[in-house]
Structure 1
Amino acid sequence: MSVLTTKEIMEIIPHRHPFLLIDTIEELVPGLRAVGKKCVTFDEPYFAGHFPGEPVMPGVLIIEALAQTGAVAMLCQDEFKGKTAYFAGISNAKFKKKVVPGDVLVLETEIIKVKGPIGVGKATATVDGKIAATAELTFAIGSGE
């Protein structure tokens, strides 16, 4: 059973279709970690051009999905409710496996450092227990206005 539904995720982060890249949150420890899921379907808008005849989820969107998962972990805390988490950096991104229609992408982001409104998350995306992508994500919490 999911901890947060798509509707509940949209109450926390501002992303909407077609840019909301997580379907559910399966595990959540506010301010520390979140595990999300994205069911990748053939109808994703980016598959029309990436790549015709061989659809592959763009790596940058996998990283964005991981960032959205981390944003949920941070923004569900009382002190950050109603704010927005902005990208401030991506380090050591590695892509190990193609993500294709039919895959269930499991997105785990662990917050490893926070100083004021700036933080860092260690992020891992997997499909069927195999690593698809990893990265270290830096974010800045802004006003959201």
Structure 2
Amino acid sequence: MDINQIKEILPHRYPFLLVDKILEVKAGEKVVGLKNVTANEEFFNGHFPGHPIMPGVLIVEAMAQVAGVGLLTTVDNPEEKVPYFARIEDARFKKPVKPGDQLIIEVNVAKLRRGIGKVEAKAMVDKEVVTEAILTCAIQDK
């Protein structure tokens, strides 16, 4: 999925749309997304001047957005639904993410029932895990 296809189903927009491309989708099982981290991101102005690091909470949000895309592919009329972030468990931040990095986000669906999805997510830079967490999302009508 390219950015235009992502915007058809995710409600997020600039500056909070944190997924640039979906590389792989196996509905109800797995989704892989990509986020290009550029020096022009607004959050780098304050986090941290002279030592830019992507905030961990935004990495987790990017993982949740990829999870949302994956979960929305399992429902009818995904453009009429919205994924709500419901829970974060066991978040671990292993390495800083810097301008120029490319985040590859892999999300595996652990449980999906009645519009609630629990996923295992990890974000990688150069095939090395930088962040991982268990996320729960609820799919609701807009």
What RMSD over aligned residues (CA atoms) do the two structures have, in Å? 1.0
Match in the other structure for 2:5: 8
Question: Are the structure 2 counterparts of residues 126 and 67 from structure 1 closer, same or farther at C-alpha, using a change threshold of 3 Å?
Answer: same
- Which deviates further from its counterpart, 76-85 or 14-23? 76-85
Match in the other structure for 1:119: 117
Query: For the Cα contact (< 8 Å) 2:118–2:135, is it kept in 1?
Result: yes
Q: Deviations over 1:68-108 (max 9, x none)?
A: 00111111234361201101100000000100000000011
Match in the other structure for 2:27: 30
Deviating beyond 4 angstroms after TM superposition, the runs of 4 or more aligned structure 1 residues are none
Among 124, 127, 132, the alignment partner of 2:130 is 132
| 1:31-70 matched pairs, under 5 angstroms | 31-70=28-67
User: What is the TM-score of this pair, normalised by structure 2?
Assistant: 0.96
CA distance in 2, matches of 1:137, 1:78: 19
Match in the other structure for 2:94: 96
Q: Deviations over 1:94-133 (max 9, x none)?
A: 0001000000000111111012121101000000011100
CA distance in 1, matches of 2:131, 2:77: 27
| Percent of paired sites with the same residue | 47
User: What is the TM-score of this pair, normalised by structure 1?
Assistant: 0.94
Match in the other structure for 1:21: 18
Query: For the Cα contact (< 8 Å) 1:83–1:142, is it kept in 2?
Result: yes
SS of the equivalent of 1:11 reads helix
Equivalences, count: 141
- Give the AA of the match of 1:117: G
Name structure 1 gaps, 5 residues minimum: none
Query: For the Cα contact (< 8 Å) 1:21–1:65, is it kept in 2?
Result: yes
CA distance in 2, matches of 1:77, 1:44: 31
CA distance in 1, matches of 2:84, 2:77: 13
CA distance in 2, matches of 1:18, 1:132: 22
Name structure 2 gaps, 5 residues minimum: none
